[in-house]
């Protein structure tokens, strides 16, 4: 696959050099640099071959701005980085939102944080930031937002037409699970347009990363996605370990898998409870919290926290697990199996639940690819892609588990996929417990201050919500030069405006809930 793409891309672009890099070190296979005039052509090239746009990243190298496009493939492991140099004095680039729909959102983000203008982009208003900000936050020097830019950015102003009106869903609304605001343009009971407004919980994680050491930033990862904190921990530590070439002991790898899967269970359980509460069934909420508390009881003594974990360390774990942990996990696994039967009885066959979710929010394969959807939502659309299978980190490679897929891609399918994923998580935990080796949990001689070699890396893990991509640029100092988080909820939310169109207002809650959004992760 990689070789084929290399020759075809070379033929399409002519005299441009395409570099083949070490995938184990970098997380991508091919890289090339193109001129801004050719980027639309490149995007079309990848679109035709069934690639999706995983991330669009901007890095400020002071002399120039670099735009990085990461293209990935659902069918085979092949990732391509396309870089584009932009003049910081006059940053103008043609948009590729005409080719990949998800770029519409990525480009808005880059516009407000770096001030890069995308020619031909239909809507360039503030998405994350508030109007009071007068410089581009992620630029290295304090680059002022010019008056002209400020005017063109402006905040989003909802406007109704003669027959339509706008209503706000959020930012304080129980069923948006946080502070998401969606402005719905309504024609009676039906939705004509949905426009998410983000940034109500923008906590500057990416800016903080540039101000802290690698270990200091570790605590932030758990606060980004508080429900799946363990998976974010795992992604971050494995990315940095990969950069520095730190080998992790086997026991630590196995414990990482157990802890991450336990956390995945608790995250999915939380989703199950909250989603059903959105749909009007309050009882399951009490049941899932019962299970969640069990998981918290297991993890708390070893990790030291109930929610925002920071358990993993570069090179291993903060704390070894003991006999009590193993025994408690075994007991929990047994208990959980009987709980699935209970949920089956309580929820799966419920006529009201089925009628409210079947055929609602159907995501086709093509739309899922164009919008770079990932995780259970992607799998419900019928694409079996799981980072734990394709790019196994920790001890996932040694585990045997299924990747459940849906057939219709509606909210009911997403529910089924998540339930099956929970069952698989239990399977993984069982295997990891059975194979848990003895030995140290910390690699020897890991320096306190890490200074990864110069270069960049795009590292992915599967969080409960989908593909988490971490792009780190190191300049050999002890703080990252740039750290970009490609978060799954952000990409999953992008598909919502399309899905909501033409639906009833009551159904938006069913669609939005099924996507399982965690707002601090979207806003970062």
Partner 1 sequence: MEKVLDLARANSLWPMTFGLACCAIEMMSASMARFDIARFGAEVFRPSPRQSDLMIVSGTVTKKMAPVLITLYEQMPAPKWVIAMGNCAISGGPFVFEGQYNVIEGVDLLVPVDVYVPGCPPRPEALLEGLMKLEEKITGKRRFPGPEERW
Tell me if 200 contacts partner 1 by CB under 8 A: yes
Q: Which segment (27-35, 74-82, 85-93, 132-140) binds partner 1 by CB under 8 A? A: 132-140
Which of the 8 DSSP states describes residue 503?
Answer: -
211: contact with partner 1 by CB under 8 A = yes
215 binds partner 1 (CB under 8 A): no
Q: Which of residues 427-466 bind partner 1 (CB under 8 A)?
A: none
- Closest CB to partner 1 among residues 292, 388: 292
Of 275, 489, 520, 522, which one interacts with partner 1 (CB under 8 A)?
A: 520
97: which DSSP letter? Answer: T
Establish if 178 lies at the interface with partner 1 (CB under 8 A): yes
In whole angstroms, the minimum distance from the beta carbon of 212 to partner 1 comes to 8
Q: What binding mask, one character per residue, do residues 256-285 give for partner 1 by CB under 8 A, x or -?
A: --------------x--------------x
Q: By CB under 8 A, is residue 158 in contact with partner 1?
A: no
Among 133, 143, 354, 362, binds partner 1 (CB under 8 A): 133
What are the backbone angles phi and psi of residue 409, rounded to the nearest 5°? 80, 15
Q: Based on the shown chain and the rule CB under 8 A, indicate whether residue 49 belongs to the binding site for partner 1.
A: no
CA–CA gap between residue 384 and residue 75 (Å, rounded): 8
Q: Could you give the CA distance from residue 292 to residue 290 in angstroms, rounded to a whole number?
A: 6
Which of 208, 244, 362, 446 touches partner 1 (CB under 8 A)?
208
Stretch that binds partner 1, among 199-207, 236-244, 365-373, 410-418 (CB under 8 A): 199-207
Burial (CB < 10 A; 0-12, 13-18, 19+), residue 33, is middle
Quick one: which segment of 12-20, 23-31, 83-91, 194-202 binds partner 1 (CB under 8 A)?
194-202
Helix, strand, or coil (residue 63): coil
Give the residues across from 482 on adjacent strands: 473
Q: Which is nearer to partner 1, 82 or 169 (CB)?
A: 169
Give the span between the Cα atoms of 70 and 30, in whole angstroms: 10
The CA distance from 13 to 21, in Å, is 19
Q: Quick one: 180 or 234, whose CB is closer to partner 1? A: 180
* From 197-205, 240-248, 357-365, 386-394, span contacting partner 1 (CB under 8 A): 197-205
Q: For helices 323-343 and 411-434, give the axis angle rounded to 10 degrees.
A: 150
**Least distance to partner 1 from the beta carbon of 443, Å?**
27
Tokens of 388: 């734990």
Residue 524 binds to partner 1 (criterion: CB under 8 A): no
Which residue among 1, 159, 167, 203 contacts partner 1 (CB under 8 A)?
203
Is 171 near partner 1 (CB under 8 A)? yes
Shortest reach from residue 249's CB to partner 1, in Å = 30
Closest to 193 measured CA to CA, from 170, 227, 166, 216: 166
Q: Does 504 bind partner 1 (CB under 8 A)?
A: no
Quickly list DSSP for 407-458.
SS-SHHHHHHHHHHHHHHHHHHHHHHHHT---S-SB-S---SS--PPSEEEE
Between 296 and 319, CB nearer to partner 1: 296
CA distance 241 to 218: 13
Q: For the packed helices 411-434 and 505-514, what is the interaxial angle rounded to 10 degrees? A: 20
Residue window 293-322: x/- pattern of binding to partner 1, with contact defined by CB under 8 A = x------------xxx--------------
Using the contact rule CB under 8 A, the part of the chain among 5-13, 94-102, 130-138, 496-504 near partner 1 is: 130-138
- Tell me the CA distances in angstroms from 198 to 150, 163, 465, 489, one per residue in order: 18, 27, 18, 12
Peptide bond into 171 cis (omega under 30): yes
List binders of partner 1 among 232-251 (CB under 8 A).
none
Q: Helix, strand, coil: what percent of the chain each, to 5?
A: 45, 20, 35
Taking the least distance from each CB to partner 1, the nearer of 371 and 479 is 479
Tell me which of 9, 227, 299, 522 binds partner 1, using CB under 8 A.
Answer: 227
**Enclosing H/E stretch for 370:** helix 365-370
Indicate which single residue of 73, 117, 220, 463 sits in contact with partner 1 (rule: CB under 8 A).
220
Among 146, 152, 172, 355, binds partner 1 (CB under 8 A): 172
d(CA 388, CA 372): 18
Interhelix angle for 250-278 vs 505-514, to 10°? Answer: 170
**Where does this chain bind partner 1 (CB under 8 A)?**
129-130, 132-133, 137, 171-174, 177-179, 199-204, 207-208, 211, 219-220, 223, 226-227, 270, 285-286, 289-290, 292-293, 306-308, 519-520
């Amino acid at each position: 696959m990689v070789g084929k793409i290399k020759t075809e891309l070379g033929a399409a672009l002519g005299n441009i050099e395409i570099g083949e890099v070490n995938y184990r070190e970098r997380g991508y296979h091919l890289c090339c640099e193109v001129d801004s005039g050719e980027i639309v052509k490149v995007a079309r090239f990848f679109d035709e071959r069934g690639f999706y746009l995983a991330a669009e990243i901007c890095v400020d190298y002071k002399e120039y701005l670099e735009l990085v496009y990461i293209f990935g493939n659902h069918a085979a492991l092949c990732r391509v980085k396309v870089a584009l140099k932009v003049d910081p004095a006059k940053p103008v680039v043609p948009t590729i939102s005409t080719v990949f729909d998800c770029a519409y959102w990525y480009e808005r983000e880059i516009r407000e944080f770096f001030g890069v203008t995308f020619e031909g982009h239909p809507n360039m208003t503030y998405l994350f930031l508030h109007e009071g900000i007068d410089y581009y936050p992620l630029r290295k020097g304090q680059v002022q937002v010019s008056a002209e830019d400020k005017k063109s950015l402006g905040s989003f102003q909802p406007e109704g037409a003669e027959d339509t009106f706008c209503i706000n869903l959020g930012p304080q609304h129980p069923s948006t699970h946080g502070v998401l605001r969606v402005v719905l343009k309504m024609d009676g009971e039906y939705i004509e347009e949905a426009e998410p407004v983000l940034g109500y919980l923008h906590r500057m994680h990416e800016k903080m990363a540039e101000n802290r050491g690698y270990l200091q930033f570790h605590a932030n990862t758990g606060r980004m996605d508080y429900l799946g904190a363990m998976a974010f921990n795992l992604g971050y530590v494995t990315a940095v370990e990969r950069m520095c070439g730190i080998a992790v002991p086997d026991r630590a790898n196995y414990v990482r898998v157990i802890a991450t899967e336990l956390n995945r269970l608790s995250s999915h359980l939380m989703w199950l409870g909250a989603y059903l509460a959105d749909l009007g069934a309050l009882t399951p909420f009490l049941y899932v919290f019962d299970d969640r508390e069990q998981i918290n009881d297991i993890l708390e003594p070893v990790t030291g926290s109930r929610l925002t974990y920071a358990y993993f360390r570069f090179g291993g774990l903060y704390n070894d697990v003991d006999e009590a942990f193993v025994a408690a996990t075994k007991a929990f696994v047994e208990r959980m199996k009987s709980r699935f039967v209970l949920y089956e009885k309580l929820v799966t066959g419920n006529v009201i639940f089925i009628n409210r979710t079947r055929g609602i929010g159907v995501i086709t394969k093509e739309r899922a690819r164009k919008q770079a959807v990932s995780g259970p939502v992607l799998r419900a659309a019928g694409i079996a892609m799981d980072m734990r299978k394709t790019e196994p980190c920790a001890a996932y490679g040694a585990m045997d588990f299924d990747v459940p897929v849906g057939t219709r891609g509606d909210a009911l399918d997403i529910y089924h996929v998540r339930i099956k994923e929970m069952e698989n998580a239990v399977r993984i935990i069982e295997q990891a417990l059975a194979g848990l080796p003895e030995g140290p949990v910390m690699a020897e001689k890991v320096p306190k201050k890490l200074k990864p070699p110069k270069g960049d890396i795009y590292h992915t893990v599967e969080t409960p919500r989908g593909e988490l991509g971490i792009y780190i640029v190191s300049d050999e100092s002890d703080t990252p030069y740039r750290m970009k988080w490609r978060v799954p909820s952000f990409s999953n939310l992008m598909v919502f405006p399309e899905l909501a169109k033409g639906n009833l207002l009551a159904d938006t809650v069913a669609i939005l809930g099924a996507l399982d959004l965690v707002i601090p992760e979207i806003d970062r």
